[in-house]
């Protein structure tokens, strides 16, 4: 199965050469699976690339969306940017998906306006894969700061389909992130969403989950509004970095501690790998008409390669089509109820 991905190599924290190296690694590794890439960069960045494999081509954009830019710039001052060009290639059918490590808001704006949403999807969501005791999908983690009960139900459905297809989880357990496990807990938004999800036969809803249970495999899909989700995501990432820093300081505190560190090195490396977000490389925007993955802004070559691998699976498993079918079924059910 041929899968062509438009890869924006500009706008990340690391140089375009680092992201291009990750993309080329992915192209070489997954060539036998039909992967083809279109690297999108400035003329300078493209000119500096090494010889490209046969399954990699390049396109030139005239400007770059910086992390500090207002997201709306993609439809005003930077219509000629590499990020917009990547989305346009996808819209025109020259690419099947998009990967970018650039400005999250700008990518969401460009993808929503150029690639568009799936029919019936009121709001797309940013779904981050969190690699704790057991990987799970957290959504929304920042695409939309507010939500309605119906929007949270939409997130639950899309997240469930993604977890089943991309993470290979059978009958994913869906939960609401809340301040208590009882059905009446939380704001009216969450208590009303609880009632909706409890009646939804298309998902495996297990109820509310408290923050303290999240790291211990409490669910496979964790649903919340974008404001709450972004705070949760950043807190999880921060705690991971804090633990890594603390362990390093602990094992360098004294000669005895250094010996203990050497003796447990294998185990600490395994722990670090379990917490390493580079294994998944980025977060998908669920609800768009084509697969779009936002790679981590700080992506190195390996992390960027992982983001491309994730979007490959996203395409191959037909996740967009399944979400579209789910929305169509929901809309048909709503019409029958109204009649």
Give me 276's structure tokens. Answer: 């390493």
> In angstroms, rounded to a whole number, what is the distance separating the alpha carbons of residues 113 and 81?
15
Highest mean pLDDT: which range of 219-223, 261-265, 299-303: 219-223
| Contact between 287 and 121 (Cβ < 8 Å) | yes
What's residue 277's pLDDT? 59
Which domains are present in the chain?
A: 1-121+287-339 (3.40.718.10), 127-277 (3.40.718.10)
What's residue 215's pLDDT? 87
Q: What is the pLDDT of residues 20-62, one digit of tens each?
A: 999 999 999 999 999 999 999 999 999 999 999 999 999 999 9
| Contact between 152 and 223 (Cβ < 8 Å) | yes
> Within a 13 Å sphere around the CA of 199, how many CA atoms are in the beta-carbon half?
7
What lies within 8 Å, CB to CB, of 46 at 6+ separation is: 39, 58, 60
For residue 162, give the nearest of 220, 216, 225, 229 by alpha carbon: 220
Q: What is the pLDDT of residues 116-141, one digit of tens each?
A: 999 888 889 999 888 877 889 999 98
> In angstroms, rounded to a whole number, what is the distance separating the alpha carbons of residues 215 and 318?
29
What's residue 260's pLDDT? 79
HEC readout, 288-306: ECCCEEEECCCCCHHHHHH
For residue 292, give the nearest of 38, 6, 2 by alpha carbon: 6
What's residue 183's pLDDT? 87
Q: What is the pLDDT of residues 218-232, one digit of tens each?
A: 999 999 999 999 999
What's residue 274's pLDDT? 61
What's residue 332's pLDDT? 53
The neighbouring-strand residues paired with 295 are 282
Which contacts (CB < 8 Å, 24+ apart) does range 15-21 have? 16/41, 16/42, 16/45, 16/48, 17/45, 17/48, 17/49, 18/299, 18/300, 18/301, 18/304, 19/101, 19/295, 19/299, 19/301, 19/304, 20/45, 20/49, 21/301
What's residue 339's pLDDT? 42
Q: Above 80 in pLDDT, residue 165?
A: yes
Q: What percent of the chain has pLDDT over 90?
A: 63
- Using pLDDT thresholds of 50, 70 and 90, give the confidence band for residue 160: very high
What's residue 333's pLDDT? 52
Query: Which tops the pLDDT comparison, 330 or 320?
Result: 320
The residue with tokens 């399944």 is 322
> In angstroms, rounded to a whole number, what is the distance separating the alpha carbons of residues 327 and 198?
18
Taking CA atoms, 251 is separated from 29, 173, 254, in Å, by 36, 38, 7
Q: Above 80 in pLDDT, residue 213?
A: yes
Angle value at C-alpha 297, between 295 and 301, nearest 5 degrees: 65
For residue 210, give the nearest of 230, 180, 232 by alpha carbon: 180
> Within a 13 Å sphere around the CA of 43, how many CA atoms are in the beta-carbon half?
2
> In angstroms, rounded to a whole number, what is the distance separating the alpha carbons of residues 183 and 193?
10
Q: Above 70 in pLDDT, residue 272?
A: no
Mean pLDDT computed over every residue of the chain: 89
Q: What is the pLDDT of residues 177-204, one digit of tens each?
A: 999 999 888 999 999 999 999 999 999 9
What's residue 245's pLDDT? 82
Q: What percent of the chain has pLDDT over 70?
A: 93
- Using pLDDT thresholds of 50, 70 and 90, give the confidence band for residue 276: low
Q: Above 80 in pLDDT, residue 67?
A: yes
The neighbouring-strand residues paired with 284 are 293
């Amino acid at each position: 199965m041929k899968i062509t991905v438009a890869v924006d190599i500009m706008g990340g924290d690391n140089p375009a050469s680092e992201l291009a190296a990750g993309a080329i690694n992915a192209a070489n590794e997954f060539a036998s699976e039909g992967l083809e890439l279109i690297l999108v960069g400035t003329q300078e960045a493209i000119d500096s690339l090494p010889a490209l494999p046969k399954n990699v081509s390049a396109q030139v954009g005239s400007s770059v969306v910086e992390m500090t830019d207002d997201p709306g710039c993609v439809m005003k001052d930077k219509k000629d940017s590499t990020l917009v060009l990547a989305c346009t290639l996808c819209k025109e059918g020259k690419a099947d998906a998009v990967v970018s490590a650039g400005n999250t808001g700008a990518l969401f704006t460009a993808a929503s306006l150029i690639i568009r949403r799936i029919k019936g999807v009121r709001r797309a969501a940013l779904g981050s894969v969190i690699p704790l005791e057991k990987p799970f999908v957290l959504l929304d983690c920042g695409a939309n700061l507010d939500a309605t009960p119906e929007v949270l139900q939409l997130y639950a459905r899309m997240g469930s389909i993604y977890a089943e297809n991309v993470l290979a989880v059978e009958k994913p357990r869906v939960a609401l992130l809340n301040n208590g496990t009882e059905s009446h807990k939380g704001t009216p938004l969450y208590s009303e969403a609880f009632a909706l999800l409890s009646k939804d036969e298309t998902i495996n809803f297990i109820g509310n989950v408290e923050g303290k249970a999240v790291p211990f495999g409490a669910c496979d899909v964790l649903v919340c509004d974008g404001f709450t989700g972004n705070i949760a995501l950043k807190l999880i990432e921060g705690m991971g970095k804090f633990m890594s820093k603390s362990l390093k300081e602990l094992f360098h505190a004294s000669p005895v501690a250094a010996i203990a560190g050497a003796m447990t090195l294998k185990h600490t490396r395994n722990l670090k790998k379990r917490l390493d977000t580079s294994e998944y490389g980025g977060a998908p925007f669920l609800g768009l008409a084509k697969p779009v993955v936002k790679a981590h802004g700080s992506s190195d070559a390996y992390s960027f390669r992982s983001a491309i691998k994730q979007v490959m699976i996203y395409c191959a498993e037909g996740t967009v089509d399944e979400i579209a079918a789910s929305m169509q079924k929901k809309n048909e059910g709503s019409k029958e109820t109204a009649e």
